[in-house]
Structure 1
Amino acid sequence: MSVRSKPNREGEWAPARGYAEPERDGSELPEGWASTNVATVIDDCQPGFASGDKNVEDGVSHLRMNNIGLLGELILDLVRTVPEKLAKPQHELQRGDVLVCTTNSAKLVGKCAIFDLEGRYAFSNHLTRLRPNRDAIDHSYLRWCLWSLWKAGTFDDKCKHWVNQSTIPKDALLEAGIPLPPLAEQRRIVGKLELLLEKVSSSQQRMSRVPGLLKRFRQSVLAAACSGKLTADWREVNEATETAAEFVLRVQDERREEFGRQTELAKKSGERKPKKRMNESAAQIEEPRNGLPSTWCTTRIGDVCECLDYMRIPINRAARQTRSGSIPYYGANGQVGWIDTHLFDEDLVLVVEDESFIGREKPFSYVVRGKCWVNNHAHVLRPLGGMPADFLNICLAYFDFVPLTSGTTGRRSASRRKAVRVRGPDRVPAEAGASARRPPHAVALGQSLPRRTRPHRTRPRHPRRTRLRTHQRVA
């Protein structure tokens, strides 16, 4: 089919003799522009051909739907070759041809690209070749017009759909409306657009590095929080009234006194003696080392918190639907529903019990506050002695629990005994609370990320995790 238009001497598009300008769609176009359709600006529309032989030696390169990228480009990672006898003259591509993917999944049907390669190429029956009339439209401008129609979903309601596959009818493709500026302006538009897209691509590449930077930033801040660097200025103006070692011993004394009190009450009332829910051995305290502040110590998590796993009650989804309410119901990775009453009403730290530990990106723990219900997929830890739940969560959120887990599948389990026996830094509650309120200082520490991490590592090791593993201890 031939175009019904041609440029004048100044390169401006003007209707040829006897050509009736298509009706406008109601939107205002700049002076000298026209609203037309694809059929009027191309010389040829040709579907491709199918071939079962796709790896023929010395065959003709055969572009398929996987060779059309999402950004209007050709992707040549995998190019099939077909028998030369199947590639008829009408199937050979020329530079400047526009390839449209007219058969694909519903989301991908309509993507397009320009053919700009040297050599002999043909194309499959999933593609349709449009050969622009060079006197009417710039091939790059046509490509971007079709690309914008695809992204806008113009072809969605015009496609024929089958199972996992959709097709744009030829008539729907040719009748697609496009704005047509003068030829010289088309080229200016393409030049400007490709310049902007190059900047967009560059920005996307930089943005793709942000998640990794944020991850290293988080690691750096947590490492600083658990090594004393985050609150170094706080210690300069606040004198410690209780060292971390003294704090751990006080917590142990308070737990023994509470257990003794409950035992006496049980004897007097004739009730069953309470189960001892603290570490049976004495608190294990190590003097500060590896750069820890002098008022700090290293101890077991179980020495400064109480595990409340015995209070958990799992409720399946069907049962929860009959007990709808306003109380959050928590599992391994956060809230999973609602329920009508609560088991806990305080600040607690929940630690994953059975989940995908290996390769996990999510934190291993999180804080819950107020009334809630917890199922049996998360350990429930109550910090003691005034230790803030937020600080306990900082110590555990990205701790290397993998060596403490069991299981042979992707879903592993960390037992309660192992969970409460890991070792980590401890400090007085006042400083622990200060570390959870230092986001401005954390931002400043984040500036040192490039010097604190190894960019060549595929999965950078957690700075804090390396130190904690040296103190890890399992009973």
Structure 2
Amino acid sequence: MSRELPPGWVEATFGELIHSAQNGFTGRGGVGERSMVVLRLADVEGYAFNLNDTRQLGMSLKDGELYRLNKGDLVCIRVNGSSDIVGRLIFFDSDEECAFCDHFIRIKLKDSEVNGKYISYYFRTRSARRHIESSFVSSAGQKTVSQSNLSLTSIPLPPLPEQHRIVERIEALLAKGARAKAALDALPPLLDRYRQSLLAAAFRGDLTADWRGKDNDHAIENISDIDQVIGKKRSNGDGRGENSSIPKGWVAPEGWNCVPLSSIVECYDRLRVPVSKSEREKLSGDFPYYGANGQVGWINNYIFDGSYILVTEDETFYGRVKPIAYAVEGKFWVNNHAHIIKAKSGINQEWLLYTLMRYDVIPYLTGTTGRAKLTQAALLNLPILLPPRTQQDEIARVLRIALGACDKAEETVKSLSSQHTTLTQSILAKAFRGELVPQDPADEPASVLLARIRAERGEKPKRGRARKEA
């Protein structure tokens, strides 16, 4: 590989820097002279090992010494079905006594010659990954990289003091990025809880409490108003009036009625037709085919044409994150895993959708926890707190604004999260072009360091080579 290097840097192959390399322990358990933690692929988390749930295997004392990892060793993932994982280099940064299985290659460097973390970070770059992936050997769905192919990886080598400075700077920047990513990852659950609180407030009537108390022309205009409304409590008694059918614990605002869902919707379940996946493959077309959790395929014909609401009939309801109701429009097909309903005349269908999206149907289910069922009878008998039409319209409008803002925020979070990987690669690219930290003319040039390494390697053969290459 030819590239322009900063002053004092030199191009080296990984093989020139390796002091020794060893494939991992091939034993699969049993009684041995000693028991030792043996790291597996399952213990890898990103670019580190998680030592909280390791397993121990019996082995001989000799094998215990041969396969023991020392702090500062590099561990390469030798074989896996995923191209993204094979060739990944992990810096072993623990004092815990561990061995490693034969899915790995242990690589030892000399701290006095090269910074192991510098090498491990370089192996995360796109240029290093391209070389490694080009040398994979594939068999039975598994991809393998060998010691010899790893050794051919070209590495831009700066002076040793600069390697230390680069590593320190990379780690500082990546730590900031990790904190930002953690903050972003925490936002979607918060947004989801906020959505649920909005829907619950709308269902109880809290969302339009102030609106009802003034006049029907007053509108809630922004999210800050919504937040204030959600936190307020009504003080007008239990609000039940003559609604004797209101479930225990529910409170109906003044002017609202508790009615069964059947009184405000038309149900079209009788028109549903399930089509097996194999049959759909023969009938593939341009019309969406819907099931319990949304669209599950395409088909060449349609049953329904218009605006409807689909409600999950049989799926995982316990611990569910997805809404149980969603809107569909246009020409489409529905199988028998989703109920299909439409609001009757005089009912705002958007308000109805929001009412059903997070409805707690658990008390109305039949069947087992793993595959519970919301029967048509149970669905149509669900009690609904029905506001006057003007309030339905206002609730729908407010939720459309608030939930739309949540959706936009979530899209922004996704976009920023996807940029995290790009940012990491940008940091690494700058680091290995010599742009992350300044060069120091007082540092011993890397060419002198490499010449010394080559001279030492020429004086004595490499020790601890693997008994068998991948």
Q: TM-score, normalised by structure 1?
A: 0.69
**Kept in 2: contact 1:287–1:297 (CA 8 A):** no
Q: Quick one: which of 413, 417, 425 aligns to 2:385?
A: 425
Question: Residue 75 of structure 1 aligns with which residue?
Answer: 51
Q: Quick one: which of 348, 351, 371 aligns to 1:391?
A: 351
**What amino acid maps onto 1:208 in structure 2?**
D
Question: Residue 96 of structure 1 aligns with which residue?
Answer: 72
- Mapping of 1:301-380 within 5 angstroms? 301-316=261-276, 326-339=286-299, 342-380=302-340
CA gap 1:413/1:64 in 2 versus in 1, 3 angstroms? closer
CA gap 1:123/1:421 in 2 versus in 1, 3 angstroms? closer
**Kept in 2: contact 1:298–1:426 (CA 8 A):** yes
Q: By how many angstroms is 1:406 displaced?
A: 2.4
Question: Residue 43 of structure 1 aligns with which residue?
Answer: 19
Q: Quick one: which of 106, 109, 112 aligns to 1:129?
A: 106
**Kept in 2: contact 1:387–1:433 (CA 8 A):** no
Question: Residue 461 of structure 1 aligns with which residue?
Answer: none
Q: By how many angstroms is 1:149 displaced?
A: 6.4
Q: Quick one: which of 125, 150, 165 aligns to 1:188?
A: 165
> Over the residues paired in the alignment, what is the CA RMSD in angstroms?
3.5
**For 2:319 and 2:383, how far apart are their aligned partners in 1?**
22
2:375 is the alignment partner of 1:412: no
CA gap 1:190/1:231 in 2 versus in 1, 3 angstroms? same
**What amino acid maps onto 2:339 in structure 1?**
H
**What amino acid maps onto 1:38 in structure 2?**
F
**For 2:149 and 2:282, how far apart are their aligned partners in 1?**
52
**Kept in 2: contact 1:110–1:150 (CA 8 A):** no
**For 1:100 and 1:348, how far apart are their aligned partners in 2?**
54
**For 1:297 and 1:180, how far apart are their aligned partners in 2?**
76
**What amino acid maps onto 2:147 in structure 1?**
K
1:182-232 CA deviation, whole Å, 9 max, x = no partner? 211111110011112222333333333323212211110101111222223
**Kept in 1: contact 2:216–2:390 (CA 8 A):** no
**Kept in 2: contact 1:74–1:113 (CA 8 A):** no
**For 1:289 and 1:173, how far apart are their aligned partners in 2?**
67
2:170 is the alignment partner of 1:210: no
Q: Helix, strand or coil for the counterpart of 1:141?
A: helix
**What amino acid maps onto 1:362 in structure 2?**
K
Question: Residue 260 of structure 2 aligns with which residue?
Answer: 300
1:301-328 CA deviation, whole Å, 9 max, x = no partner? 1112222223334445566567665544
Q: Helix, strand or coil for the counterpart of 1:221?
A: helix
**What amino acid maps onto 1:380 in structure 2?**
I
**What amino acid maps onto 1:185 in structure 2?**
E
**What amino acid maps onto 1:75 in structure 2?**
L
Q: Which runs of 5+ in 2 are unaligned?
A: 218-242, 407-470
1:288-311 CA deviation, whole Å, 9 max, x = no partner? 985543121211111122222233
**For 1:116 and 1:322, how far apart are their aligned partners in 2?**
55
**For 2:5 and 2:388, how far apart are their aligned partners in 1?**
71
Mean Cα deviation higher: 136-145 or 316-325? 316-325
**Kept in 2: contact 1:100–1:110 (CA 8 A):** yes
The answer to which structure, 1 or 2, has the higher relative contact order (CA under 8 A, 6+ apart) is 2
Question: Residue 9 of structure 2 aligns with which residue?
Answer: 33
Q: By how many angstroms is 1:181 displaced?
A: 1.3
**For 2:57 and 2:151, how far apart are their aligned partners in 1?**
29
Q: Which runs of 5+ in 1 are unaligned?
A: 1-24, 241-282, 447-475
Q: Helix, strand or coil for the counterpart of 1:209?
A: helix
Q: Helix, strand or coil for the counterpart of 1:399?
A: coil
2:91 is the alignment partner of 1:114: yes
Q: By how many angstroms is 1:419 displaced?
A: 1.1
1:91-140 CA deviation, whole Å, 9 max, x = no partner? 45443222223234444322332334447654444332222233431121
**For 2:65 and 2:270, how far apart are their aligned partners in 1?**
78
**What amino acid maps onto 1:398 in structure 2?**
R
**Kept in 2: contact 1:329–1:336 (CA 8 A):** yes
CA gap 1:180/1:332 in 2 versus in 1, 3 angstroms? same
**Kept in 2: contact 1:159–1:167 (CA 8 A):** yes
**For 1:290 and 1:445, how far apart are their aligned partners in 2?**
29
1:348-385 CA deviation, whole Å, 9 max, x = no partner? 22212222333332211112234444333322222123
Question: Residue 5 of structure 1 aligns with which residue?
Answer: none
Question: Residue 175 of structure 1 aligns with which residue?
Answer: 152
**For 1:102 and 1:140, how far apart are their aligned partners in 2?**
19
Q: Helix, strand or coil for the counterpart of 2:326?
A: strand
Q: Helix, strand or coil for the counterpart of 1:87?
A: helix
CA gap 1:124/1:373 in 2 versus in 1, 3 angstroms? closer
**Kept in 2: contact 1:330–1:374 (CA 8 A):** yes
Q: Helix, strand or coil for the counterpart of 2:397?
A: coil
Instruction: Return the index of the structure with the highest Cα Rg.
Output: 1
Q: Helix, strand or coil for the counterpart of 1:142?
A: helix
Q: By how many angstroms is 1:329 displaced?
A: 3.6
**What amino acid maps onto 2:153 in structure 1?**
A
**What amino acid maps onto 1:133 in structure 2?**
K
What is the aligned residue count?
380
Q: Helix, strand or coil for the counterpart of 1:436?
A: helix
**For 2:69 and 2:299, how far apart are their aligned partners in 1?**
64
